[in-house]
Amino acid sequence: MTDQPTAPKLWISLLTAAIFAIAVFVVGFSLYVTFWAKPELSRLALQNQQFTLVNHRGESVTPVNFAGRPSVIFFGYTHCPEICPTTLNDIGIVAAELGVTADDINFAFVSIDPERDTVELLAQYMPSFDPHIDGLTGSLEEISAFASGLGVYFRRTAEGPDYEMDHTSWIYLFSRDGEFVRTANLRSPNENLTEALRALAN
């Protein structure tokens, strides 16, 4: 006949199981915070990206051009029917609210549609928005490298000349040393991009 476990042994077994469960939770939560809740800042840092693009004035732009000032980067395209022009207009409003502080911030609109968004087209498109915003284009390879480095998604949704692009619509904020700070969503009622940028610039 098998002996029944005594009370002390039962409590020790339960305590051991509880300690093990707590340890698993702590390790799992730590992994969540490290790899999911908080992105790897060093991987997203601008200085760790590799790209050479061209702005709408025909000037070459590399990660070096973003150094020393906070940066606001938005990925979109000129044929976008609503989200992109609305976001660019909202960024322009923020730049106006910042006043002279906007001169110390990089504002960039990176085209995800280089097939249509040539330097010439961007030169016609960008004057519709605040002059602080640089329109950037380049080869699909260079743009894809920059976008993937920041976790930006985009794809062409159809064939033919009137196709649209599906893409990430967040705004990316970076500190003056190029470290990723966070994303911004201007459609959120709690978003205050003006104050966030003012804090980064000061």
Which bin fits 142, alpha (ψ -120 to 50), beta or left (φ > 0)? Answer: alpha
Buried b / exposed e along 127-162 (16+ C-beta atoms within 10 A): eebbebbbbbbbeeebbbebbebbebebeeeeeeee
- List the pLDDT tens digit at each of the 202 positions of the chain: 555 555 566 566 666 655 655 544 544 444 344 434 444 456 788 888 989 999 999 999 999 999 999 999 999 999 999 999 999 999 999 999 999 999 999 999 999 999 999 999 999 999 999 999 999 999 999 999 999 999 999 999 988 888 999 999 999 999 999 999 999 988 787 789 999 999 999 8
pTM: 0.77
- Tell me the C-alpha distance between 102 and 200, whole Å: 11
- CA-based angle 10:15:21, to the nearest 5? 130
- Tell me the C-alpha distance between 79 and 57, whole Å: 19
